[in-house]
Structure 1
């Protein structure tokens, strides 16, 4: 298609097209490398955090590592397990999720221990607690509760909408610290096959027991000011990730439409100023509107993530389309029509392919699968 026109161009005009293409490709390459690296690091950091959270000896980044239990010979060992019935609410924007689950306690010895009586869901609120079963006998002691709880969780939104999360319930006995009671995770813990979360799939489950230190004396006059308390904490986890790219395309559908609208301006003669510049200008406002729409799905945060990366790629593509239209209009006024035709067709393919590559590589690096 470009053969005769390309052959007829002067050498300096060919170099102009080549340099414009090279500069555009280099800029896109730098942007893709930066955002792809950021998404890779975010994904790795998220996985490392999840591994550390469910390790009995490791601490999450930014958290106090688990401290050893204090020496004691008077504590009771209690086996604790959970069975998640459902997750009725999961709101990334509101930084919370709620669930209904069963929790049970098995122990030997003192029948009056009552480990579930002072049960505490750390970082959460128990909306309802119902004792369903309890018995004490020669085979030991047993309690089973059904809990309805709202859990506060500050989700990592850097890879939304292609992210994975770990939903955790942290259980302690608020009355007895580790010198009196220590939990052991029950391998019988499980998740109901009925448990569904819209837009996500269940990818795993686990549980662990870790020491949890409170650096306070709770204002007690009977304890030193620098007193520390270590409690035995049971942690149950549900691992989830996005089902597929469906929500991703749904979120950015209008942005992609705006990009196509901007790219179509390369097919319009620069002499037709109104449509040539009107299309990318309209596309720019559409892309900005999409950015506001997507941001409304997330909590207020100063972090820069996948949503911002894809939005910036779209806005940059529209901006490049406008800049290159100005270049084409300049040479059209100088009556260099063959150069303008070649320039527009080449830049349509260069910008379009660069944008496409960016929208493949960056989400792929962010995807948790």
Structure 2
């Protein structure tokens, strides 16, 4: 009899049918929730990327329009290096060059600042005038607080943002115009564990929803020049190594369904312990309070391990009934419960292994593809 034939025979027993329906139901409910959760949070992360690097697609033409009264400042940037970075602590330090070309009386070099950051050193390298056009080049060292998008860890892409704005002039007085051509050649940017994909520069209005103690009604909208450095995981190695404990634990728990019930509890409980340890290790790799794809996969692995323990308990119950009827000399019932216990193990192994593979694969695929990368030059 082939494996498919054995499966059909197993479903003839009502105990196996009921247990199979239970497994399929809980796998469908939990798996669907996790897939939906992964999809919703992944695309929310993509929307954040899109707002930062393509504001013209997320804001209205009216919001992006340059006021007639504003002085245009053509702005470019060259990232010299990332000195240090901690995605877990949401902070990085960088050296960069920024230049301004403008015509008018408002000097953008006097009062520019790095949003959500601290300028540690600012050095004027070049200051020149060509007719009515003025030019200034600065070398800057800064430390920036940047919210790392780590929900998709360990398949995450990172967008390190460097935002510049003027402290004094609002958007109706000064607007940055990105110098895309001169800002694209960057070679020395390295972020450990990631592959550098490119730089995108953009300008967007930044509105402060506060008068900051000023009773005079003013427009608190400023022009913000954004430089986004895109990084991507080079391969699936990080995914494999960060979740290898969980994968091994699930494999061991599933294999336990093929061994005698007296020994399988040790294997399943050990697998549960390994899965919990893997979860703790993953939690230590991301900021506090962050739930990641790795957490979802590891949690689902723990769920599978718990179901194998429940199956072992059911197996033990059938073996107990078989032994009881054996003492009474009821050979037919002994044979039946022996058969049911083995068949239920086989059906459980098929359902759990297939469900785990499909659901985990779906979560990985959802997180792997980032449509925001289409905006890279």
Q: TM-score, normalised by structure 2?
A: 0.84
Alignment correspondent of 1:257? 248
Q: 2:175 aligns with which of 169, 179, 182?
A: 182
In structure 1, C-alpha distance between the alignment counterparts of 2:112 and 2:3, rounded to whole Å: 78
Alignment correspondent of 2:281? 293
Tell me which moved more, 290-299 or 47-56.
47-56
In structure 1, C-alpha distance between the alignment counterparts of 2:7 and 2:52, rounded to whole Å: 64
Q: 1:237 aligns with which of 202, 209, 228?
A: 228
Q: What does 1:195-344 align with in structure 2 at a 5 Å threshold?
A: 195-220=189-214, 223-224=215-216, 226-270=217-261, 272=262, 275-301=263-289, 304-335=291-322, 336-344=337-345
In structure 1, C-alpha distance between the alignment counterparts of 2:71 and 2:108, rounded to whole Å: 10
In structure 1, C-alpha distance between the alignment counterparts of 2:85 and 2:210, rounded to whole Å: 32
Q: 2:72 aligns with which of 51, 68, 77?
A: 77
Map Cα deviations across residues 46-71 of structure 1 (whole Å, 9 max, x no partner). Answer: 222222233455668xxxx9586666
In structure 1, C-alpha distance between the alignment counterparts of 2:6 and 2:226, rounded to whole Å: 67
SS in 2 for 1:334: helix
Q: Unaligned stretches of 5+ in structure 1?
A: none
The 8 Å contact of residues 10 and 343 in structure 2, kept in 1 or not, is answered as no
SS in 2 for 1:190: coil
TM superposition shift of 1:197: 1.8
Q: 2:139 aligns with which of 146, 162, 178?
A: 146
Alignment correspondent of 1:21? 20
SS in 1 for 2:43: helix
In structure 2, C-alpha distance between the alignment counterparts of 1:215 and 1:355, rounded to whole Å: 47
Q: What does 1:123-162 align with in structure 2 at a 5 Å threshold?
A: 123-138=116-131, 140-162=133-155
Q: TM-score, normalised by structure 1?
A: 0.85
SS in 1 for 2:369: coil
Tell me which moved more, 324-333 or 185-194.
185-194
TM superposition shift of 1:328: 0.8
Would the alpha carbon gap of residues 40 and 191 (structure 1) be closer, same or farther in structure 2, given more than 3 Å must change? farther
Would the alpha carbon gap of residues 20 and 145 (structure 1) be closer, same or farther in structure 2, given more than 3 Å must change? same
Give the alignment's Cα RMSD to 1 decimal.
Answer: 2.8
Q: Unaligned stretches of 5+ in structure 2?
A: 323-336, 371-377
The 8 Å contact of residues 253 and 267 in structure 2, kept in 1 or not, is answered as yes
In structure 1, C-alpha distance between the alignment counterparts of 2:232 and 2:54, rounded to whole Å: 20
The 8 Å contact of residues 258 and 284 in structure 1, kept in 2 or not, is answered as yes
In structure 1, C-alpha distance between the alignment counterparts of 2:360 and 2:282, rounded to whole Å: 16
Alignment correspondent of 2:365? 364
TM superposition shift of 1:4: 12
Map Cα deviations across residues 199-229 of structure 1 (whole Å, 9 max, x no partner). Answer: 2223343222222223444435xx52x4442
SS in 1 for 2:187: coil
Would the alpha carbon gap of residues 109 and 29 (structure 1) be closer, same or farther in structure 2, given more than 3 Å must change? same
Map Cα deviations across residues 323-360 of structure 1 (whole Å, 9 max, x no partner). Answer: 00011111112223233223223322322222122221
In terms of fraction of residues, the more helix-rich structure is 2
The 8 Å contact of residues 164 and 368 in structure 1, kept in 2 or not, is answered as no
Map Cα deviations across residues 69-115 of structure 1 (whole Å, 9 max, x no partner). Answer: 6663xx432111111222233322101222221100111244xx432
TM superposition shift of 1:157: 2.6
